[in-house]
Each structure stands twice: as C-alpha cells, then as structure tokens.
C-alpha cells in the first residue's frame, strides 16, 4: 500500500450509526476510545441528543400532567371563566394593591373558581409559604406556618368566589 492510501485511511473513519465514511474531524473527541474519537459521527450524535431530549421532556410533561391533573383543570376553568366573563380579573393585586395584570392563585384546586388575583411577587410569596410548610426543615416549616397564619388572617388563602367543583 502506498503512502497516500495509508494517509487517507488514517484521516477517515466509519460511523457505526449511519455507516458513512467521514473525515476524522466529523467525529467528537472521546479520550476513552482507542483512536480518541467517538464511534458515531457528529451528525448522528446531535440527532440522538435531540431525540433523547425531546423524548425526556415529553415523558416529564406526561408524568407531571398525571400528577397534577386537578391543578391543570382548575387553571383551565379559571381561564375559561375569564374568557366568557363569568370571572373578572381585577386591574391590580388583591393583597398589595399594585396596578398590574394579576395572576389567579388557587388556595384549593378542588374549588377551581375560588381564586384571589395577585401580582407575581405576592403569588410567588404564597407558593414559597406553601413550600416552606411542606419542607423537612423545621425553621422553614415554622416560618411557613407564621406566613400561613398571616395570609389566612388577610384572606389570601380563602375562597372568594363560587364553590363550583370540577367534575373529573
């Protein structure tokens, strides 16, 4: 074999995935492989990563939806009620009074239209309180209970509208 054939063979590699013979620069480096290159080409690697990421996200979304179906239905009920006019979104936060487009906060997802409208900051505060109560940290749990008492006194976690329940 002549030198040009040897150098050509050394500068190419066959992808085990697609079977194409490609230049070595078309393969990612991988120090654990004998030739320091991954066995599949960059194009096949990218395709596999995209497919894996897409499948993983879809599986996560399906699992999360199953775990939180009642929450999803409650959000849909609020959005439909706002759209048809049976629930009116105020022009500001119920808690702090800030003029904004407030978000609907459910204290009880089994009462889908039992919401208060809060600005992003107050809404996040409600959820931080809930997370603190559920956490295993004693300090966070005590702080969450204090916050819950304050929010209960202010009516933030009580139902303010109809008590219609979701059929599920």
pLDDT, tens digit (0-9, with 9 covering 90-100), for 48-80 = 888 877 777 777 777 777 777 888 889 899 999
Q: Report how many domains make up the chain.
A: 1
Task: Give the Cβ contact number of residue 94 at 10 Å.
Answer: 18
Is residue 23 situated within a structural domain?
Answer: no
In a 10 Å sphere around its CB, with 0-12 CB exposed, 13-18 middle and 19+ buried, how is residue 59 labelled?
exposed
DSSP classification of residue 107: S
Structural contact between residues 75 and 114, judged by C-beta atoms closer than 8 angstroms = no
Positive or negative, the CA dihedral 107, 130, 68, 64 is: positive
Positions in the chain whose pLDDT score sits under 70: 1-9, 132-168
Contact criterion met (CB below 8 Å) for 126 and 105: yes
> Does 167 reside within a domain?
yes
25 inside domain? no
In a domain, 16, yes or no: no
- Give one DSSP letter per residue of 33-63, joined into a string: STTSEEEEEHHHHHHHHHHHHHHHHHHHHHH
Give pLDDT, residue 158. 40
Parallel, antiparallel or unpaired: strands 115-118 and 27-29: unpaired
126 lies in some domain: yes
In a domain, 101, yes or no: yes
Structural domain that includes position 136:
40-168
| pLDDT reported for residue 157 | 46
Q: What pLDDT is stored for residue 147 in this prediction? A: 59
The whole-angstrom separation of Cα 41 and Cα 76 is: 45
Instruction: Please state the pTM of the whole predicted model.
Output: 0.48
Q: Is residue 18 part of a domain?
A: no
- Asked if residue 122 belongs to a domain, the reply is yes
The predicted pLDDT at position 136 comes to 65
């Amino acid at each position: 074999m002549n030198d040009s054939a040897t150098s050509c063979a050394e500068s190419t590699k066959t992808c085990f995935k697609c079977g194409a013979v490609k230049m070595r620069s078309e393969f990612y480096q991988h120090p654990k492989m004998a030739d320091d290159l991954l066995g599949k080409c960059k194009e096949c690697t990218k395709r596999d990563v995209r497919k894996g990421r897409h499948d993983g996200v879809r599986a996560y979304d399906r699992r999360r939806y199953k775990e939180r179906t009642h929450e999803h239905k409650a959000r849909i009920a609020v959005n439909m009620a706002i759209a048809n006019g049976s629930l009116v979104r105020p022009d500001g936060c119920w808690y702090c009074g800030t003029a904004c487009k407030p978000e609907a906060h459910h204290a009880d997802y089994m009462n889908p239209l039992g919401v208060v409208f809060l600005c992003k900051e107050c809404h996040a505060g409600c959820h931080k309180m809930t997370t603190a109560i559920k956490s295993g940290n004693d300090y966070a749990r005590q702080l969450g209970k204090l916050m819950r008492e304050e929010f209960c006194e202010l009516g933030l976690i009580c139902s303010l509208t109809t008590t219609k329940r979701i059929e599920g």
